Amino acid sequence: MPRNPRIEFPGAFYHVIARGNRKENIFLSDNDYQKYISLLAQYKEKYCFKLYAYTLMPNHVHLLIETSETPLSKIMQGVQQSYTQYFNIKYRKVGHLFQGRYKALLCQKDIYLLVLVRYIHLNPVRLGISELVEYPWTSLTFYLIEKDKGLVDTDIVLRQFSENLEKAREQFKRYLYENNSLVHQEGFYQVEKQILGEKDFVDMIYKKETKKESDKDNRNKGRIINLNLVDILDKVCKKKNLPPTLIKTNIKAREIVLCRDLFIYLTRIYLGYQLKDIARFLGISLSAITKRAKYINKVIISDRRLADEIGELIKEIESVEYQA
C-alpha cells in the first residue's frame, strides 16, 4: 500500500520516532550520541524549529519538534542523512541505518506538550535507570540544571509550573514521575496513526489538508492543460542549450543527464504527470525513469546546483499566466 503523505504546515507540533534498521543499534559510542546532538543543533540553527525534548536510546531516538517555515521532512532528511553518512564512514558500513521512514505523530500542542515532554524523558526507565539525570543522552538536564538553552526550548514548559525558575524545576521534577496515562484516555483520537488530539483538532487538520490537496489539484490541472510535455522539454533544453532529441535518449553525458533530471522533476513532482507518460514520451523504460525520479527526490536538498536550476525554471513557469 502507498504511504500516507506527511501532514506539514508552519507551527506543526510532532512527536518523532526514528528506529535503527532491523532494530539494530544506531549509537555505538558516546561520540555517536554527541554527533547526533550536534546535528540537531546544526539543523535547528539552520531551519529555526523548536526542540522541546529529545531522548537518544541505543537503537532509536525520540524528538519533540515544532516547525516554523521549514517542513519536518526537510529537517529530518538533513539530520538523518548526515548522521547516516557519519556512521557509515566511521564504521565502514553501507546502506540504510534507519528503519524505513521515521514516524511523526502530529499532536495538539496545548494538550500534549507536557505529556510528551514527560513521556520522552521517561524512556530510559525501560533500561532500568531509576535516576534519570544519570542518563546523559536526553534533554532532561536542560530542564533541571542551569545550562545553555540554545538547543532545547524549555521556557514554555517550565513557565506552566512557575515563573520562578527554581520552583518550576522542582515542580517539573515531581511531575516527571507522576502517572503518565493521558495519552490513553477516551476522548482523544488517532486518525490513520498520524494525528493525536481532540476531535475538533483532528477535524480542523483534516479540513486544512483537504483544502490544500484541492488547491494543488486545481493548480496542477491548469498547468498541465497549458504546459504539455513538449513545452516543458523545450523550456528545459533552451535553458541548457541542448537539442530535445538528445534528452530523448539513454546518453549519460553529465549535462544531458542533468537536463533530463530537470525535465523529470518538473513534469513529475511539480506538474503531476504520471511516470509512465514521461517514460513513453522520452522513449526510456519506466524502471529507468522511476529510478531517476527517486534519485532526484533524494538529492535535491544536498545538490545545490540541481535545486537552483529547478527553482529558476519554476519561476519562469509561474511568471506566465495560464488559462485553465
- What residues form DSSP beta bridges with 104? 16
- Report the distance separating Cα 86 and Cα 93, nearest Å: 10
- Report the distance separating Cα 245 and Cα 266, nearest Å: 18
Right CATH for 13-208 from 3.20.20.105, 3.90.480.20, 3.30.70.1290, 3.90.1170.30: 3.30.70.1290
* Phi-psi category of residue 71: left, alpha or beta, with phi > 0 → left and psi -120 to 50 → alpha: beta
Mean pLDDT, rounded, for 256-270: 82
Q: What percent of the chain has pLDDT over 90?
A: 39
- Report the distance separating Cα 149 and Cα 184, nearest Å: 31
pLDDT reported for residue 211: 63
pTM over 0.85: no
| Residue 265 Cα distances to 72, 152, 272, angstroms | 21, 37, 9
Longest dimension (CA), the chain: 72
pLDDT reported for residue 230: 86
More confident: 232 or 154: 154
Task: Kindly list the domain boundaries of the chain, sorted by start residue.
Answer: 13-208, 227-318
- Report the distance separating Cα 180 and Cα 182, nearest Å: 6
Q: Which of 17-21, 129-133, 142-146 has the highest mean pLDDT?
A: 17-21
Answer whether residue 165 shows pLDDT above 60.
Answer: yes
Q: What percent of the chain has pLDDT over 70?
A: 80
pLDDT reported for residue 64: 97
Q: Give Cα 299 to chain centroid, integer Å.
A: 14
Evaluate whether 265 touches 300 at the Cβ level (below 8 Å). yes
b/e code 5-36 from CB counts within 10 Å (16+ = b):
eebbeeebbbbbebbbeeeeebbeeeebbebb
Nearest to 105 by CA among 90, 115, 97, 96: 115
pLDDT tier for residue 239 given thresholds of 50, 70 and 90? confident
pLDDT tier for residue 186 given thresholds of 50, 70 and 90? very low
pLDDT reported for residue 317: 65
Mean pLDDT, rounded, for 65-75: 94
Question: What are the φ/ψ torsions at residue 18 (nearest 5 degrees)?
Answer: -125, 125
Right CATH for 227-318 from 1.10.490.10, 3.40.630.10, 1.10.1750.10, 1.25.40.80: 1.10.1750.10
The DSSP result for 91-106, as a single string, is HT--S-SBSSSPEEEE
pLDDT tier for residue 213 given thresholds of 50, 70 and 90? low
Answer whether residue 319 shows pLDDT above 80.
Answer: no
- Which value, to the nearest 10 degrees, does the dihedral of the CA atoms of residues 281, 282, 284, 289 take? -90
pLDDT tier for residue 185 given thresholds of 50, 70 and 90? very low
Nearest to 87 by CA among 79, 97, 78: 97
Average pLDDT, the chain: 82
